[in-house]
Amino acid sequence: MALVSMNELLPKAKAGKYAVGQFNMNNLEFAQAITQAGMELNAPFIFGVSEGALKYMGIEYTVALAEASAKKSGLPIALHLDHGSSFDVAMKCIRAGFSSVMFDGSHHSYEDNIRLTKEIVKAAHAMGVSVEGELGTIGGTEDDISVAEENANLAKPEEAIRFYEETGVDALAIAVGTAHGMYAGVPKIHYDIIEQVARAIPISLVLHGGSGVPDQMLIDAIKAGVTKINVNTENQVAGTQAIRDVLNKDAKVYDPRKYLTPARNAMVEVVKSKIILFGTSNKS
């Protein structure tokens, strides 16, 4: 099966009141682990690729891995640029074969964010590619981008509604209290903002920073109206811990397959647990 746009996945999730997982792909083992989990549970999913991951893997390898996953699994899979920073990066990804892009204009003024997002929506939609926008700023660290908690701004419902109406995005990430990376304490999710926006606009709301959020809070976020949840750090932590365990146990290991196989297996378990939690099993 060819890669699909998020519009093949998210409207069904909104109607069915479940959430599709965006699992970030950082290398071959991530692609394999996420795909295996999806296949075991017959679940659609979204590969998220940040600009940092894109630089690390190279755009050709990235698209080839995602296409191989879609072909091998037969599942509907979207390949989505995560936190794209410019029109040029978004177009480069679309030309290379991405089926979806995010433009994160949250560091611009509200009006500039609308203007820049609109340009990307126009170009992407002409090529059948879906677009996610962002409003408010999500705290924490992803790649080289760090937003201090005190600078993380919650999205305002009336601004989110107007943002959708003016830009025509297919999905909208709204800052509601989660952050990228693991949490020192428990995040405070503003379910009221999710509810208000989800009721007012027909597109999907996206919860970034899914790692380390207690299960019940994710379930409550889906109940409030979130239909896409992004997870990256939890896979990184589980995979790296498995590698550390192997190397700590035996200092003589040198064959990467000896530590990457347990890392991959650990990530399969993380992704499966999220798919089950999000209600995406058997939704392919």
Tell me the catalytic residues. 82
What is the per-residue binding string for ligand 13P in 60-99, x denoting contact by CB under 6 A?
Answer: ----------------------xx----------------
CA Rg, the chain, in Å?
Answer: 18
CB 168 within 8 Å of CB 118: yes
Q: Is residue 181 near ligand 13P by the rule CB under 6 A?
A: yes
DSSP code of residue 226: E
Nearer to ligand 13P, 197 or 231 (CB): 231
14, 80, 118, 208: which one contacts ligand 13P (CB under 6 A)?
A: 208
117, 196, 232, 284: which one contacts ligand 13P (CB under 6 A)?
A: 232
Q: How would DSSP label each residue in 228-281? A: EEEE-HHHHHHHHHHHHHHHHH-TT---HHHHHHHHHHHHHHHHHHHHHHHT-T
DSSP code of residue 144: T
Q: How far is the CB of 233 from ligand 13P (least distance, A)?
A: 3
Q: How far is the CB of 35 from ligand 13P (least distance, A)?
A: 18
Residues in Cβ contact with 208 at an 8 Å cutoff, skipping those fewer than 6 apart:
138, 173, 175, 178, 180, 230
How many residues sit close enough to ligand 13P to count as binding (CB under 6 A)? 16
3-state SS class at 152: coil
Tell me the Ramachandran region of residue 282: left when phi exceeds 0, alpha when psi lies from -120 to 50, beta otherwise.
left
d(CA 48, CA 101): 9
Nearer to ligand 13P, 113 or 211 (CB): 211
What is the per-residue binding string for ligand 13P in 32-51, x denoting contact by CB under 6 A?
Answer: ----------------x---
Nearer to ligand 13P, 207 or 224 (CB): 207
Q: Is residue 180 near ligand 13P by the rule CB under 6 A?
A: yes
Q: Is residue 24 near ligand 13P by the rule CB under 6 A?
A: yes
Binding site for ligand 13P (CB under 6 A): 24, 48, 82-83, 142, 180-181, 208-211, 230-234
